[in-house]
Structure formats: structure tokens, C-alpha cells
Structure 1
Amino acid sequence: MYKTPIIFLTYKRPEETKKILEIFLEIKPKKLYIFQDGQKSDFNKNEKNNHKQTSKIIQNFSKIKAKKFFFSKNIGQKYIGFKILNKVFKYEEKAIILEDDCIPEFGFFRFCDLMLKKYHSRKNIAHISGCNLYYGTSIRKITKGDYLFSKYPHFMGWATWKDRWKKYYDPNIKDWPSKKKYFLNNCKLREGEKRYFSYYLDKIYDGKQIAWDTQWLYYNILNNLKTIVPTVNLIKNIGFYSSPTGKGAKKFRNLATRNIIFPIKENNTEKICIKYDEYLYKSFYNRPNLVIRIFKKIKIILKPLIFFYRT
């Protein structure tokens, strides 16, 4: 039985919710918190039906004890993480977080549990990830050992501590105008990262972009916090195929997974894995300059015409 509290956030994926609840029956967590966000006002008939089915599955889930919370109104992506973690952290000091589109290997829970215990007093470490995108796409480790350190937190199955979350996170990034210059010039960001964060954080601050995870990424980098990442991938994201609510790169839609072998090898250096962060930088955080973005758009526009004339 796992003593670390687990937070399960679901929405309108009945089949995926069933699968994850079955996993909980296997691991038997001592404390399980289940949250379902409310329906949106513009839901179509199929979405309403999926939401209701998901609610019934949760309501009928009684083989292990769980605290269940159903929001009558839609909280939405920007505030749902803030809302549920703050609620759980009224009672808990740490938590493992899993969404309904993330199917974990069984070792994910033990890995998070061990890392939460080992690094609880290391305040410069704020996030534990279950997802390794490099392994998931290449099916090989990027470095020796069982886990590495990154400056980039991942959100497909993760864990954190109450003190870090409460100290740093703000979904509205109210400090962005006053910290923007420092962040862009003093946090060892590369030019592509500066363009990426300036673009997306400006949009989030102005209310033109709905997100919750980019804010946590910003605060981790701003405060020089580290993320623990297993060297194998413990999470398969299936949300791209069923009722997707977010966006993601195509190459990360069918990640390979492999369970982690215990006991795990210790990594006492706490040094950032440069190779892994370089991979993530090239995959996500290197926003091209304006000239390259225009060139890419022109290529997309011209591609059908070129195909037409060739045929």
C-alpha cells in the first residue's frame, strides 16, 4: 500500500478513467483524491454523455477508499491544477498527480514515492516527473543510471511537495511584468528560449493563452529549481486519441514505456543532464526567429501547390 497521497484528475474520458482506477486497485493507495472538472457550457451531446459516464464510473468506484470531488462548474485548464493541489495541500505535505490521459507503469508510483522521501529537504528540487520523452521516442537511455536532473518539469504523471508548490506557483503570473527582464537576461536562457517564454508568458499574462503548466515551468527556471526524471519513460500519454484538451508534438503521441527496476541506482551529483535538456530545448523550447517562422509558413502554404503540379 502506497502512503503518498495520489491525486487523480479526470474529466470526460470514461474508458481511460476505468483503466486508471483499475491500476489504483492494484497498488491500493492509502490516500486517493479524485477530481472531475465540470462540464463546459458549449459541450455537444457526445461530450455531455462522456462526462456523465465518467461521473458514474467515479461514483461507483468503491473497492478502495477515495475522496471524490465533482465541480458543478467548469474550472478550466488555467485554474484546475491550482484549485485541486491547493485543496489537497490543506491536508497533505506531498502528492503524486495523474491525469486521465496518462497511463503509468506500476513503477511510476514507487519511483515518485522514493524520490519524494529522498529529496524532501532539498528545497532546490521542486518536481518529480514520470515521463522521459527521449526514452519514449528512441527507446534508449540518454545517460547511465536510473534518474537524471533537468531544468524542465514534465507534467504527464508527476509529483511535488506542498512547500514548493505553495511558495512559487501562481497561475496568473502576476510578477511577470516586474520579473520579465531579469528572467530573460539572468536565467541562462538561450535565444530560442527567450523568444519562447516571452511569447507564451506574455499571452498567458494578458489572458490570451489558456495554460497552467507553462507558469510552473517559468517559476522553476526563475528560481533555479530542478526536476527529477527517470531514465526510462514510465508514462504513456493517450489523450491525443480520446477527447484531447491540450496540444502536443506529433512525435510524442505514441511514447514507448518501460518499467523501472528496483532498487534504483542513486544519483548524488544533482547536476543537470545537459544532453537531455538539449533534446527538450530542440523539441519544445527553441522558438525560431521571425524570418524562419515566416519561411516555414510559406512552405506549408506552397506544399499543396507543389504536390498538385508534380502530379
Structure 2
Amino acid sequence: MSLAPILLFTYNRPEHTQAVLDSLSKNKEAIDSVLYIFCDGLKENSSEENKSKNKLVQQIISSENRFKEVKITIQTKNKGLARSIIDGLNTVFLEHEKLIVLEDDLILSPFFLAYMNDSLNRYKDFKNVGEIGSCNFFACGKEFPTYFFTNMPDTWGWGTWKDRWNKFNEDAVFLYKELEKNNKMHAFNTYGAYDMEGMLKDQIFGKVDSWAIRWQAVMVLNNWLCLYPNPSYSNHIESINATHAKINMVPPLQNNEPTFETIEIKELKNVTEAMQLGYSGKGDYFGKLSKKYLKKKTKKILKSVLLFPLPYGIVAFFKKNKPKK
């Protein structure tokens, strides 16, 4: 099986960089894999602390030797995450037909590379598959299949092919208009569960700089689906220093020897419902109402009861439903 090159994007989190490299190296395919590491440059007027952390990250990646080959790019200026990822993929795709993408805030299963490489080879000729994802955070557990497809792309350990990435479009205005013209905004919004449209508008007006929201629009416009595993082959390192990820999802991780299979490329109702529940903020990793949401809902009900005591409620009920003469 041909192994896809791995891209790792780093900046100023030495502990996280070391953690993702350590977990990646525990995959048996690591020793035969080419690893590209991109370290972003410092922002203007960076603090001494940031300078020190960035320098330490450079030292960590420069000493990495657990892979077939390690190719390092250290930027002289700060590009930001979106520009770094877009440029990095464009560069590596000049020489390769498929790749795996990682950021420095992930922990990986020892079977991550086996899953990613098998799936990239298995589905390369299925043109309705746009991406292979590894972090399943809303449809884990026995109620869901071992593998499934959704229209929501994954950004926490993922892979794709050159011909799919060639359709990536940076123009958020164009993407927005195309979503509206093709009546795909509802699907883009996780079928109404999350305001992805608002995020795309923020991209248009410069309030955010996200490659992911634009990639998601491209996925939806092309009717592509993303493969997910159950359970995850990657999860997110909880970090108060995370620049973009504020939720800190840590789903169950796959630690048993997996088996792989080709499945029908279609969306499943129970998976879609679990994704809707999760993106709406009401669901947990297992497609059920989360304890946090239930606690909030119960608190709201109790507050309502306290504001309108039971006897008053009973009187109001009978007044409202008094039989007509």
C-alpha cells in the first residue's frame, strides 16, 4: 500500500507539538512515511514568551527523526493558520496525489495512519467522496456503524486527494452566492443545526480567516461526503491556548486493532440526526442529549416553576380552559 505524505502545521506550542509527534510516531507506518512540517513565523511585536516558544518548537521539529524523511519549512513571517494550510497543501500537491493533514493540537490513535492510508486508497476513485476524516465527535458508540459518511468535513486529522483539493476556492463571496443559487445553504448549515452561513459571512467581512469554512462550502457545492470512523482515530488536546478551537472536543479514541471495509457512500438518518444534535450544542459524543444541555434545560424549567408557583399555574389553566356556556 502506498503511503500518503503527512503535513503537520505548528507555531508556538512546544508541548502540543511534541505530543502530536510522539503519538504519530507510535503508528507502525510512521517509519515509512514522509513528514512535512510547516512552522509559522512570529507575528509582529511578538512577546519574548512567544519568541521563546516558537524557537522551542523549531528545536523539537529539527530533531525529529522517527519518520522515513522529515521536510521542514520555517516561515520568516507569520502567515496565520488559514494561509499556512492553503499554501502548504498547494505546495505538497505539486509532488503528490494524496496527503494527510494535521495541526499541532491533536492526539492520534496508534492506528491513525493505517486507517487514513487504507481509506485514501480505498475511496480514491469514488469521486463523491471529498475527504477522509478521523475525529468523530457526535456519533460514537454501538448505535452507529463502524464507518459512515456525512456532508460535514473534518478538520482534526484528515486527508484528501489532489483532484479534490484542486476545486478549493478561496473566494468566500463566490462560494456564498453559489450556495444560495444552488439552494444548498440549508445543507451547508448542517441541515439547520448550526449557522455556518454566518461564519462564511464573517469570512467575507474579514472577521475571521478560516480555510475550513471555505472548504466546507466546496464540499457541499460538489455534493461530496466525508468518511468518519467510529470511534475516532484522533482527538483534540484540551488547551486554553487554542487559537480557533474553543470547544475542546475529546471523543473516545480507537485503541484496538481495526478492520477496514468499503461501505455504501450515502448519508444515514441516525448519523445526520446525531450531527444535528451535536452541532446545535445539545448533543454528546454518543448522539444523545448531553448532560450539560439537560442540566441547563432542567434549570430553566425549575426557574419557570419558581416564578409561577404551582397553585397559580393550576388556576391559570382552569381559567384558560373554562367551558363555554
Quote the residue 1:294 is aligned against: none
TM-fit CA distance, 1:224: 0.7
**Is 1:96 paired with 2:109?**
no
Moved more, 206-215 or 179-188: 179-188
- Tell me which protein shows more helix as a share of its residues: 1
Structure number with higher relative contact order (C-alpha < 8 Å, ≥ 6 residues apart): 1
**Is 1:241 paired with 2:239?**
yes
Separation in 2, partners of 1:83, 1:190:
27
Quote the residue 1:57 is aligned against: 60
TM-fit CA distance, 1:24: 4.3
Quote the residue 2:323 is aligned against: none
Moved more, 61-70 or 101-110: 61-70
**Is 1:261 paired with 2:263?**
no
**Is 1:45 paired with 2:45?**
no
Cα separation, partners in 2 of 1:190 and 1:20, compared to 1, 3 Å:
closer
Kept in 2, the 8 Å contact 1:204–1:210? The answer is yes
Quote the residue 1:140 is aligned against: 141
Q: Where does the alignment leave 5 or more consecutive residues of structure 1 unmatched?
A: 287-298, 307-311
What secondary structure does 1:32 align onto? strand
Match for 1:17: what amino acid?
T
Cα shift readout 1:78-106 (whole Å, capped 9, x = no counterpart): 32211100010000000011111011101
Quote the residue 1:105 is aligned against: 109
Cα shift readout 1:120-178 (whole Å, capped 9, x = no counterpart): 1111101101111025xxx624423x2111110111111100110112x1233241353
Kept in 2, the 8 Å contact 1:187–1:221? The answer is no
Moved more, 180-189 or 241-250: 180-189
**Is 1:34 paired with 2:37?**
yes
Cα separation, partners in 2 of 1:281 and 1:34, compared to 1, 3 Å:
same
What secondary structure does 1:227 align onto? strand
Normalising by structure 2, report the TM-score: 0.78
**Is 1:280 paired with 2:275?**
yes
TM-fit CA distance, 1:236: 1.9
Kept in 1, the 8 Å contact 2:187–2:220? The answer is no
Kept in 1, the 8 Å contact 2:37–2:71? The answer is yes
Q: Where does the alignment leave 5 or more consecutive residues of structure 2 unmatched?
A: 282-295, 304-325
What secondary structure does 1:128 align onto? strand
Separation in 2, partners of 1:257, 1:24:
14
TM-fit CA distance, 1:110: 0.6
What secondary structure does 2:266 align onto? coil
Quote the residue 2:16 is aligned against: 16
Moved more, 181-190 or 158-167: 181-190
Quote the residue 2:266 is aligned against: 271
From 69, 73, 78, the equivalent of 1:74 is 78
TM-fit CA distance, 1:189: 5.9
Match for 1:33: what amino acid?
Y
What secondary structure does 1:175 align onto? helix
Separation in 2, partners of 1:142, 1:159:
26
Cα shift readout 1:195-240 (whole Å, capped 9, x = no counterpart): 71332212212222221111111111111101000011111201x4
TM-fit CA distance, 1:42: 4.2
| Residues paired across the two proteins, number | 281
Match for 1:259: what amino acid?
N
| Regions of 4+ moved over 3 Å | 23-26, 183-195
Separation in 2, partners of 1:142, 1:84:
38
TM-fit CA distance, 1:276: 2.0
Separation in 1, partners of 2:244, 2:208:
12
Kept in 2, the 8 Å contact 1:152–1:277? The answer is no
TM-fit CA distance, 1:53: 0.3
What secondary structure does 2:246 align onto? coil
Match for 2:269: what amino acid?
I
Quote the residue 1:296 is aligned against: none
Alpha carbon RMSD of aligned pairs, Å? Answer: 2.8
Match for 1:201: what amino acid?
L
What secondary structure does 2:165 align onto? helix
